[in-house]
A and B are shown apart, each in its own frame.
Chain A
Amino acid sequence: MAVTLTPPRAGGRTRRVPDRHHRGVTRWIVLALVTVAALVMLVPFAFMLLNAFKSPGDYSNNGPLSWPTEFYTTGLRTYWEQVDFPVKLWNSILISGSVAVLAVVVSLLSAYALGIGRVRGRLWIIGLFLLANMLPQEALIYPLYHFAKEAGLYNTRLAVIIIFTVIQAAFGTYLLASVLSTFPRTLLEAAALDGAGKWRILWRVVLPNVRPTISVLLVFFFIWTWNEFLIPLVMLIDNQTQTVPVALASLQGDRLMDAPTTNAGALLSLLPAILFFLVFQRTLARGITAGADK
């Protein structure tokens, strides 16, 4: 795609001469500012780390802001055993992973029809799909419980996977359809000339061009589903089917809460999601390098 820069409009700002500044001090100042902002973002995480390895007595006596007096790992261990963490971890990975992949596939297919196929009334269809995102979840709970029970899916992970695939795909469809509506027609026509059908065009032409967006969607869907609480809390009542956040909630009793264990649990719950994000950082970061494969 060639892009022409329009000349500056009258009354526009005067041009600055960028070079010497940018090569020199300015970029370091920018870097410093952004880094400070990023560190501020991380402060709450520092508190979490601080308290995950503190004994309950230490926490009660010295509060959440002190250095731990000892390196206390019992909190982590109790949490691990008490909630049978490996089972919960597997459930969460299974549910979030399935949702991420399924929702991306469904989004891509729908967005292909809406963004490239430009089917009739696509605005309405996009709007309708988005309803899935607009409905407050608490309103969905009673009906979904009812339907799931009728279908024999109450207390199954499949029910949660189906529900979140729809909710996330609504977002994915909208994002991809918006992106695909600006897709260069020339590419499509060239492919059609070569005799490629719709199916081949989708996988050979469209998909490679929206790969960054797809990666982002995978990350988002995984992490959003990972952190979902309300619907899994209602749908998954057995310890064998429950997810990590629901297990985390079991640390909060009727009237008592064990803050250090909660922190240890939170830390454990956080790690898989962070790992997942960091692995995908590479996919996301690929394009930042100049001269990405275009």
Chain B
Amino acid sequence: MRRFRSVAVAATVAALTATSLAACGGDGDDSGANVLKLWHYESANSAMGIAWDRAIEIFSDEHPGVEVRFERKAFEQIQQNAGMIINSAEGPDIMEYNKGNATAGLLSSQGLLTDLTAEATERGWDKALSPSLQTTARYDKGVMGSGNWYGVPNYGEYVMVYYNKELFAEHGVTVPTTLAEMTAAMDTFVAKGVTPLGMSGAEYPAGQLFYQLALSRADRDFVNDYQLYANPVDFKADPLRYGAETFAEWVRRGYIAKDSASLKAEDMGTSFISGKVPMIVSGSWWYGRFKSEISYDWDSFLFPGNTMHAGSSGNLWVVPETSKAKNLAYDFIDITMRPEIQALIGNNGGVPVAGDPAAISDEKDRKLIENFNTISGQDGLAFYPDWPVPGYYDVLVSGFQGLINQSRSPEQVLDAIAKPYQDGVAEITRD
């Protein structure tokens, strides 16, 4: 018994002394800061992870007296608690954060992020980024597209069609250039008993395919209405109606497997990697992984016939208002915009925002970037379907599971996704 008691006492003492070693950043005076706390959540072997590691090295060379305290974070943690983290004295001096109204927009409207407008003009970031990439960097009362700069994107992303060249050759299918050719190609596969499109109903891919289909009938005005609330959006009219109806038709015709409602994006990706499906419609974030894991011959093409494509800038570098080393943070952002770092992103399967395709050695990588520049040049980045209102991601997932399961009609699904959108927009534009 005595032993038990002494253990209990020891543990209590240990618990009470286990207060954290709260890292003291630099002092309030910025110019003298000698620590840069930097957080991001890209994996070490991703294009961004590799490029930013190099950026940290360069930064350390150029600021010999400064210690960079880098921490790799869980995406979930930043996603969920960014407001709490930035609102405390424990946060970083610079961090990666998601672009969009519900994330960077919300925090900027609450005065938690530093206004970077002056830096952007002075350091020429505003010249390096095309106007459609700047959309996600600038926020006015929390709505993206105009106003001050609150973040700086380093890379771009867009949705395309990945295809298995060997399966195409085997079934005598050529790369489609119009939506009609695309459906003809898929009919060929279905006739051979092959499900042409890999799909994931439990995560983002279903919503993105629906959006791509809708965008085949849409222009920039629609995107401004849908994403920036310029005008009310009618869900029962084209392009959204066309998107939902065509999606349902693709399920009916067997282009999409009827048992994909519960599949995660990871399952869709691995089914493409293992050569089970000839095509998937998904984003450039897969590129690096496909390059390293796929053993057959594969390539990608832009979603046929569309001028508008789901895509945007990547995540942003933001500087919290509580940052104790703002000037150092600006220097770091500037380094990530340099051609050397941008080329690193491009050479590792990422899409640089200020890159020169000529600096990219690998032919596939170059094509990825050229395609992005094509979209960006024709002002064709349409962002993502789940962006307009917080929590819309799950609404879309739930809706399109209904179409994949054929338990609901396109009409019902459009109704189901219209209401949360309208409620959310009303909430955002209330003030």
Given contacts A60-B274, A158-B18, A240-B21, contact A233 B81 (CB under 8 A): yes
* Cβ-defined contact, B285 with A203, below 8 A: no
Interface residues of A in 228-267 (CB under 8 A from B): 233-234, 237-241, 246-247, 249-259
Q: A57-B292, A82-B72 are in contact. Are A105 and B8 (CB under 8 A)?
A: yes
Question: Which residue of chain B has the shortest Cβ distance to A108 in the bound complex?
Answer: B8
A98 in contact with B43 (CB, 8 Å): no
Closest 7 CB pairs of A and B: A98-B15, A250-B74, A60-B273, A156-B20, A101-B11, A249-B74, A155-B90
Bits for B69-104, please: 1 = Cβ < 8 Å to A, else 0: 001111111001100110110110000001000000
Residue of B with least CB distance to A55: B293
A63 at the interface (CB under 8 A from B): yes
Q: Which residues of B contact A207 (CB under 8 A)?
A: 1, 4
Which segment of B262-270, B411-419, B423-431 sits at the interface? B262-270
Given contacts A101-B8, A207-B1, A234-B81, contact A239 B266 (CB under 8 A): no
Partner of B88, one of A63, A101, A155, A204: A155
For B205, give the chain A residue with the smallest CB separation: A255
Query: Which residues of A lie under 8 Å from residue B19 when comparing CB positions?
Result: 153, 156-158
Q: Decide: A255 near B274, CB < 8 A? Known: A61-B295, A94-B18, A203-B1.
A: no
Q: How many A-B residue pairs have CB under 8 A?
A: 136
B16 at the interface (CB under 8 A from A): yes
- Minimum CB distance partner of A157 in chain B: B18
At the interface, is chain A mostly helix, strand, loop or mixed? helix
Q: How far is the CB of B50 from chain A (nearest CB, A)?
A: 14
Complex formed: what's the CA distance from A145 to B80 in Å?
Answer: 13
Chain A nearest Cβ from B13, distance in angstroms: 10
- What is the 8 Å Cβ interface bit string for chain B, positions 33-54, against chain A (1 contact, 0 not)? 0000000011110100000000
Question: Is the pair A82, B293 in contact by a Cβ cutoff of 8 Å?
Answer: no
Contact A252 to B270, CB < 8 A, known contacts A238-B20, A240-B21: no
Report the bound CA distance from A233 to B85 in whole Å.
11
Q: B5 in the interface, Cβ–Cβ < 8 Å?
A: yes
Are B18 and A255 in contact (CB-based, < 8 A)?
no
Query: When A57-B293, A102-B12, A249-B77 are in contact, do A237 and B90 touch as well, CB less than 8 Å?
Result: yes
Residue in chain B with minimal CB distance to A94: B18
Kindly list chain A residues whose C-beta atoms are within 8 Å of the C-beta of B283. 255
Contacts of A59 in B (CB 8 A): 270
Chain A residue numbers with a CB within 8 Å of B73 are: 250
Q: Does B175 contact A (CB under 8 A)?
A: no
- Which residue of chain A has its CB nearest to the CB of B289? A256
When distances are taken between beta carbons in the complex, the residues of chain A under 8 Å from B90 are 154-155, 237-238
A9 to chain B, nearest CB (A): 44
| Contact of A241 with B20 at beta-carbon distance under 8 Å, contacts A101-B12, A203-B5, A258-B43 already known | yes
How many residues of chain B have a CB within 8 Å of chain A? 54
B293 contacts A204, C-beta separation under 8 Å: no
Q: A233-B81, A255-B204 are in contact. Are A161 and B15 (CB under 8 A)?
A: yes
Tell me whether A233 and B77 are in contact in the complex, defined as CB-CB below 8 angstroms, given that A98-B14, A149-B88 are known contacts: yes
Tell me if A97 is interfacial: C-beta within 8 Å of chain B.
yes
Extra pairs beyond A204-B1, A240-B20 (17, CB < 8 Å): A57-B295, A60-B273, A61-B270, A98-B18, A101-B8, A105-B8, A158-B20, A161-B18, A233-B80, A234-B80, A237-B85, A237-B90, A239-B71, A247-B74, A249-B77, A252-B75, A253-B46
CB B99 to nearest CB in A, in angstroms, measures 11
**Chain B residues with Cβ under 8 A from A253's Cβ?**
41-43, 46, 75
- Residue pairs across A and B with Cβ atoms less than 8 A apart, 8 shown, are A78-B44, A101-B12, A154-B88, A237-B77, A250-B74, A250-B77, A257-B264, A259-B270
**In-complex Cβ contact of B269 among A60, A154, A239, A252 (8 A):** A60
Contact residues of A between 140 and 178, Cβ < 8 Å to B: 145, 149, 153-158, 161
Let me know if B91 and A237 touch, CB within 8 A.
yes
Binary A-proximity of B268-283 (CB < 8 A = 1, otherwise 0):
0110011100000001
Smallest distance from the beta carbon of B69 to chain A beta carbons, Å? Answer: 9
A56, A94, A246: the one contacting B77 at CB < 8 Å is: A246
Please state if B80 and A259 are interface contacts (CB–CB under 8 Å): no
- Chain A nearest CB, measured from B198 CB (Å): 12
CB-based nearest B residue for A249: B74
| Chain A neighbourhood of B71, CB < 8 A | 238-239
- Binary interface encoding of chain A residues 60-86 relative to chain B, with 1 for a CB under 8 A from any of its CBs, else 0: 111100000000000000100010000
Q: Which residues of A contact B98 (CB under 8 A)?
A: 254
Chain B residues near A78: list those with CB within 8 A: 44
CA distance A257 to B265 in the complex (A): 9
Q: Which residues of B contact A255 (CB under 8 A)?
A: 204, 265, 283, 285
Most buried by B among A78, A161, A207, A254: A254
A63-B274 contact in complex given A249-B74, A250-B73, C-beta closer than 8 Å:
yes
- Indicate if B237 sits at the interface (CB-CB under 8 A): no
Which chain A residue shows the least CB distance to B266?
A: A257
| Contact residue among A98, A233, A234 (Cβ-Cβ distance under 8 Å from B11) | A98
A102 touches B80 (CB 8 A): no
